[in-house]
Structure 1
């Protein structure tokens, strides 16, 4: 059964690896020197959840820089799933991830499926600043999923998207029939979703 695209939004601070996770998932590649997202970019991917059920994901990768914060909030609209990414080697990014979660609740997306993702688990043990148990505890307290990934090695990336896809509600065509129109209505200067700038640390 093929369904209407379900919108997922990737959130998190700049440099935590949101774009790298999306690229790893879609292309199964990793590039340590990629471009930072301005506004948002999106990819489509179909997930076979079971033998007779598939989910078509439309995954929006949003900008993490503070100056694009208000623009990023535009892409919350219609999101059925939210992926909040932090860098396990950067404690501040974990605190910022919690602020993103508060923002989700403030925007009325409490019914969206949320997964908190600790990225860069390929790091050396001594470099890790956010312990797994701490992130799991926060996720449990807030009723959200927690996963760990490495965009560099690919560990946990497919599993994270698969587990989230399983949790998404079945959407009938008429419930989401204006989704493609809402995506294409980004003709303002601040909404050029494919514009990028150079960046060197995002894995």
Structure 2
């Protein structure tokens, strides 16, 4: 089984924890309290036959979005294999803040193999808001394309598209590591080293 470190970033109240709990526990809490510092969860997924039905394990760090915890974020995204940058589709100022998170990741992680997925959450509320108060999907999608990001809009409340986010990330990770995976399956090559999450890195926050 391949293991990868995944981190969630974004401002407070965009629904990062709700996305993770929908993915890991298939549950939703309308009144979930804000994360303090960071929370750790893990979950496995099985890719489709096209990707050799490979099983991946995500070791997930859900970071706090409050400004007072922002300085801690680099400890959690250091050596990450993938990142979800989350914004609220019902709050116009949410996307610009997400863009700043993406810029920070690109500047400080400096790893072209880092997979970043821009995720717009709270799709279930779209029909309840005036269109003028919504984030322009085209703007978000264009930003994602220009920066080579995966892009999804989801609802943690209903579960819409949540699994798809992690499946897409898993497929991208598989393709990045396909050669190593194939090599490890050859006879007498049981010791091939595959990419591991930075929870095993003595210099990371997660050791």
After TM superposition, the score normalised by the length of structure 1 is 0.83
Alpha-carbon distance between aligned partners in 1 of 2:120 and 2:169, rounded to the nearest angstrom: 15
Q: Which has the higher contact order (CA 8 A, sep 6+)?
A: 1
Aligned length: 186
1:67 aligned residue: 68
Alpha-carbon distance between aligned partners in 1 of 2:40 and 2:203, rounded to the nearest angstrom: 11
Matched, 1:164 2:164: no
More helix per residue: 2
Aligned partners of 1:46 and 1:55 also within 8 Å: yes
1:106 aligned residue: 107
1:121 aligned residue: 123
Matched, 1:83 2:84: yes
SS at 1:36 equivalent: coil
Of structures 1 and 2, the larger Rg is shown by 2
State the Cα distance separating 1:140 from its structure 2 match. 1.0
State the Cα RMSD in Å: 2.3
* Structure 1 segments unaligned to the other structure (5+ residues): 188-203
State the Cα distance separating 1:184 from its structure 2 match. 10
State the Cα distance separating 1:186 from its structure 2 match. 5.3
Deviations along 1:9-62, whole A, 9 cap, x unmatched? 100000000000001111111101112112211211111113431111111100
User: How is 1:1-203 mapped onto 2 (pairs within 5 angstroms)?
Assistant: 2-3=1-2, 5-51=3-49, 52-107=53-108, 108-123=110-125, 124-126=128-130, 128-168=133-173, 169-170=176-177, 174=193, 176=195, 179-182=198-201
* Structure 2 segments unaligned to the other structure (5+ residues): 182-191
1:201 aligned residue: none
Q: Classify 1:177/1:50 alpha carbon distance in 2 versus 1 (closer, same or farther; 3 Å).
A: same
State the Cα distance separating 1:175 from its structure 2 match. 5.3
Aligned partners of 1:82 and 1:112 also within 8 Å: yes
SS at 2:164 equivalent: helix
SS at 1:7 equivalent: strand
